[in-house]
Amino acid sequence: MGNLSNKEYTSAALKTAYIGMAGNLLLAAIKFITGMLFHSTAVISDAVHSLCDLFGDLIIIAGIKLSDNEIHEKKRFEKISSAVISSILIVTGLVIGIKALKQIFIKQYNCALTGGTAVITAEIISVLIKEALFRYTRYRAEKLNSLTLRANAWHHRSDALSSLCALAGITGAKAGFACLESAAGVLICVLILKTAFGILIQSIRSS
């Protein structure tokens, strides 16, 4: 918390969480509209994914509000919420990795080309917004010394990498290299799991 009072910390942390929530809502709207207009199941599914990210935002907001009064309670909820977010990251990484490995082993790549440039543009916007949210949230996490916000920052980064994986698959399929999505998926899975377990271990060890 640095030199901030408990009230100042809570206000700053909530502001950061609300900005992340707004970003997820914006991305969900962009992807859903694009998916509906160009009949892209892949993009509509990605929109649902963005809406599911709101669950993580709500956990963080609830944790911050519940720990508003006592410092020892704040530490406890920081540990709980960061552990929950890191668990979500682990599941995300495993889903990406299992899907990628399955595609590699059976040599069947499901990259939807419907929508063409519009779908690619939507994924690029997703990567840029999520990367911006990652950098902003990570900066605020360091400023506030918040393990919860640090975990959520990497949740944003995992989403950016997931969209990058989809983008690699779409552009690769257009160029005749559909296997790029699976190759990227394996690398992204390893990175997400490494980060998630690091955050989980830190939250368990923190006092």
Check: CB of residue 74 under 8 Å from CB of residue 13: no
Average pLDDT, the chain: 76
Higher-confidence residue of 78 and 194: namely 194
Query: What's the mean pLDDT in 149-175?
Result: 77
Q: What pLDDT, on the 0 to 100 scale, is given for residue 1?
A: 52
Between residues 89 and 138, the one the model is more confident about: 138
Q: Which pLDDT score, from 0 to 100, does residue 158 have?
A: 78
Confidence band of 152 (pLDDT split at 50, 70, 90): confident
pLDDT at 73 over 70: no
Section 124-132 average pLDDT: 89
Angle at CA 132, nearest 5°, toward 131 and 136? 120
pLDDT average, residue stretch 167-194: 73
Residue 181 has pLDDT above 70, yes or no: no
Largest distance between two CA atoms of the chain:
58
The number of C-alpha atoms within 13 Å of 190 and in the hemisphere containing its C-beta is: 6
Q: Looking at the predicted structure, is the pLDDT value of residue 29 above 80? A: yes
Query: Where does residue 114 rank: exposed (0-12), middle (13-18), buried (19+ CB within 10 A)?
Result: middle
- Encode pLDDT of 99-110 as tens digits: 778 877 886 655
- pLDDT in the model for residue 173: 67
Return the ∠ at Cα 50 (arms to 47 and 56), rounded to 5°: 160
Instruction: Return the minimum-mean-pLDDT range out of 38-52, 79-93, 122-136, 151-165.
Output: 38-52
pLDDT band of residue 132 (cuts 50, 70, 90) is: very high
Query: What pTM was computed for the model?
Result: 0.69
The mean pLDDT of 73-93, rounded to a whole number, is: 74
pLDDT at res. 161: 77
